[in-house]
Amino acid sequence: MSVEEILEFEKELGELMERSENGAVVIVEGARDRECLILLGVRGRIVEASSRPVDDIAEEVCTFSNDVLIFTDADRRGLVLAERLLKAFECRGVIPDIKISRRMLSLCRVKSVESMAARYFSSLEATRF
């Protein structure tokens, strides 16, 4: 990542962190993705979606927040899950944000949340010299 890309990534990360701290719910695929976001500094409610029906997730999350960020991988499985989550939330009148995750993954030129965190940290380390 270039210095400009790192700065843009940190801008997106800052928005993610702020929204999360202010009550937004971040939905990830699994435990490793959750751990990566926590490692990046995200401190709000992070819900794992891979082992639960999407309607159950949407129903539960909508009881305490109408600000939802979907943070799935950009591979086939993640994209299918994101689409199913979008539909489940839209049926409940909530329009989830998927743009932040897509921009962050794109800036790192990766498809997975785990790779994104690793790429960001390695790029930070490389710019220190």
Domains, in order of start, for the chain:
3-127 (3.40.1360.10)
| pLDDT, tens digit, 9 for 90 and up, residues 51-93 | 899 999 999 999 989 999 999 999 999 999 999 999 999 999 9
Provide the pLDDT for residue 68: 97
| pLDDT, tens digit, 9 for 90 and up, residues 25-40 | 999 999 999 999 999 9
Provide the pLDDT for residue 51: 83
How far apart are alpha carbons 24 and 68 in whole angstroms? 5
How far apart are alpha carbons 55 and 66 in whole angstroms? 15
pLDDT over threshold 70, residue 129: no
